[in-house]
Structure 1
Amino acid sequence: MPRTTILIAENTCLIRKGLRAILHNLGNAEILHSVTNKNELYELVNRLKPGILIVNPNMLNFEDEDAKRTFVSAEDMSLVLISGDDSIRRKYKADAFIHYQDNQKDILKLLEEIIEQKSGKDRNTKSNETLSAREQNILKHIALGFTNKEIADQLFISIHTVVTHRKNITHKLGIKSVSGLTVYAILNNLISMDEVK
């Protein structure tokens, strides 16, 4: 399954860098670019065609309440608006909203759900044995050489949950060794060869 590509459009340095750090823990996703310039945003979206655009509404030129319509090639793109103002949720249509006060766990869960929906649309007739977004994320961490405790700490879940996911992953894929899981992760674009230690 191809990686979901993400474009971040936020002019506040702390928020932009914080989002990048959080998204690094997201399985099967790749950050294409971070945009700080409102004029550059539209050109980049139409050229790069990201799967998900995470954007501060101040960087958009709103012509109507459906913010997605302002982009020429947005039919397959999920739009996530970042805001501290709850009126944004009532004012504009988007696929999801991130509030400035949301914690890392909530942001990751929201984006994993979007990726899961996107992969469900792309997957026409695959078996039920495919990995969920969470399992892909854990597989990515396993392939990168993290221990169960390190994975649990990074993803804010219990070690027991990591162990359960590992069992489900090995059962679904029929692969028991870490090296085999690493090869699977590389072949399915969950990680690149350069990331392997």
Structure 2
Amino acid sequence: MVKLLLCDDHAVVRSGLRMLLDGRHGIEVVGEASEGGEAIRMALELKPDVVLMDVSMPHGMDGLAATAELKQRLPETNILILTMHDDDEYLFRAIQIGASGYILKNAPHEELVSAIRSVAAGDAYLYPTATKRLMSEYLNRLKSGAEPPDAYDTLSEREKEVLGWIARGYSNKEIADNLIISVKTVETHKANLMEKLGLKTRPELIKFAVKKGLLNFE
């Protein structure tokens, strides 16, 4: 069963989503939040598999800011952006800060269910035209001679921090003690950064860190 937390500033939208999803398709709605700050607090308490996050919430923390903070504090939770904004700026920013998916509010409910289950399984989900735009942007960069995005830039600040500690030879337990987080959270950060960097072993991480000039022993 996929544990889902809803976050939208409109009560009628949350109610409709709960009626559509709760107890169906292997999905359990474990909570509702009306703005980003509340979503973060509830996620830390409820530990959902997926947060379905609206973007525009004018009476509190917006969805993108909440997504960025939540990925820092609860990296194992996957976030699916559900929005009315079919906009490149929102799309690219959401992906950059760690959202696992991006889907429009006018999508068929079967597509929404599929997106939730995909991100819960650890996969990414983008609606079809968004995928085309991302590929077009990437191909345009290649044609113009621009360098592809640096994989290091896709890491969160916490992942970069963990990478630095790993590169300096600290164990997961020592990193957890220094950052005042759990060993499990360190392991999650390590797994995420290795996936983003396309690396598989600790020596590869260290080699990458050396190239990036991250070995500061001061």
Taking structure 1 as the reference length, the TM-score comes to: 0.50
Higher relative contact order (CA 8 A, sep 6+): 1
Structure of larger gyration radius: 2
Taking structure 2 as the reference length, the TM-score comes to: 0.46
